[in-house]
Amino acid sequence: MIVYPYKVIECGFYKYGNGVPDFGSLTEFLPGFIDWINKREFISETATYQDSESTVPRTLCLEAFSFPSGEEYGFVLWNEVPQFDEGIGIIPLGSKVGEASVELTETDGDSIPGWPVYVIIVPSDLLLVSLVPDNRRGFRSSGIVQVRRYFREYLKVKSKYAIKQDVAREVRNVDKDILGWSRNGGNPAKNYSIRFRAREIKTQGKLNRIINDYKNIYKLVTSSEISIEIPDEQDRLEKLMNLLFSTELEGYEEDRVSYRAEIDFNPKKLEIEALIGKWEDMVNEGYTNYEIGVRFRGESSKVHWFGKARGVFNYEIDQELRNKTLWRYRDLLRLWYKIKGHVMNTYKDAL
């Protein structure tokens, strides 16, 4: 299991130029959100956004609950996967360019194909943790992009803070129904910026060394990793030769190939800070297969990767949990008790 820890840096309703929300903080809105979820009769009613042209797949909430402490919360979200009228489209990875064909896996018209996101939030610490199981092939994203939008749209559209006209419509054209927002149902105001932002936790030491010792940097290193399909019956050298020179591959399995480039780099402090900031933005948006690092004079054999400062870590789970297609309350509670110490230690050492 991959554990992604985040710090919630903005949450709620902000007046222009104000760094503190007037209302809608994590501590304030989460109990109401859980109550709202548990009053829905159907899963489809838990969607907080869906564009009028249905161009954005929905995020739904399957479960929302507080842990026994009353200070920690768990959520099981479901990110919808786009599909055809006849079902989900599948393309064999072994298809040749220009000759690919789509196979359809039929689904029930009332079913919602997708993938789960498991989230734990500790409001007092502004901590958000996403858990990614081992049984998800290829795609191992934390789902933070969908989580941010889901909660932001809840605050904007579905929360008790949203004051609507008497005749309320559903999510479609919902902006036309909202008169504004207020904490206790008073006079609504529209001059609010509604935010839910989370930043992946980074540990202090690694990035501080890169920033503070910037004058000794002489190389910038970039590395990108992609998934490819190669024959499984050959050794690594044969696989590579076949990948580069053969015209047809059979007996596929997934492997990864990394590409690396190095350029001369003598940055100013502002430049290295800006580079780290851009890398952090990419990580926070879920782009994690692209890495950046630097070499220092006198340490030419070592690359100091920015990614070594990430708070992300792997945790070995038992076979029973690994085999489950969906985790529920007791699963998340058990996992949280096991990883909480590690997460909190990482959090304390965070930037």
Are 209 and 281 found together in one domain? yes
Are 217 and 129 found together in one domain? no
Give the range among 172-176, 239-243, 276-280 with minimum mean pLDDT: 239-243
In this structure, is residue 316 part of a structural domain?
no
- For 80-102, how does the pLDDT look when each residue is reduced to its tens digit (9 = 90+)? 876 666 666 666 767 777 767 77
Are 160 and 58 found together in one domain? yes
In this structure, is residue 57 part of a structural domain?
yes
**Strand pairing of 114-122 and 103-105?**
unpaired
In this structure, is residue 314 part of a structural domain?
no
In this structure, is residue 313 part of a structural domain?
no
Domain span at residue 264 reads 204-227+254-308
Which of 52-66, 120-134, 274-288 is predicted most confidently? 120-134
- For 284-305, how does the pLDDT look when each residue is reduced to its tens digit (9 = 90+)? 776 666 778 889 998 888 888 8
Other beta carbons less than 10 A from residue 324's beta carbon: 13
- For 315-338, how does the pLDDT look when each residue is reduced to its tens digit (9 = 90+)? 998 888 888 889 999 999 999 999
Are 154 and 80 found together in one domain? yes
Q: Which of 303, 306, 282 is nearest to 292 (CA)?
A: 306
Please tell me which residue, 250 or 315, carries the higher pLDDT value.
315
Are 194 and 220 found together in one domain? no
Domain total for the chain?
2
Kindly list the distances between the CA atom of residue 184 and the CA atoms of 114, 160, 161, 163, 260, in Å, as whole numbers in the listed order: 36, 8, 7, 10, 55
Are 208 and 174 found together in one domain? no
- Residue % of the chain over a pLDDT of 90: 35
CA dihedral defined by 67, 72, 74, 79, rounded to 10 degrees? 170
The span from the CA of 75 to the CA of 84, in Å, is 28
Are 18 and 80 found together in one domain? yes
Are 267 and 147 found together in one domain? no
* Residue reference for tokens 């829905």: 40
In this structure, is residue 145 part of a structural domain?
yes
Give, rounded to a whole angstrom, the gap between the first and last alpha carbons of the chain: 24
Are 133 and 214 found together in one domain? no
Strand segments, DSSP code E, in the chain are: 2-14, 59-66, 73-80, 88-90, 103-105, 114-122, 127-132, 162-164, 178-181, 193-200, 217-231, 252-264, 290-296, 304-305, 313-314
Q: What is the pTM of this model?
A: 0.73
Kindly list the distances between the CA atom of residue 36 and the CA atoms of 31, 45, 47, in Å, as whole numbers in the listed order: 9, 10, 12
In this structure, is residue 264 part of a structural domain?
yes
Are 196 and 209 found together in one domain? no
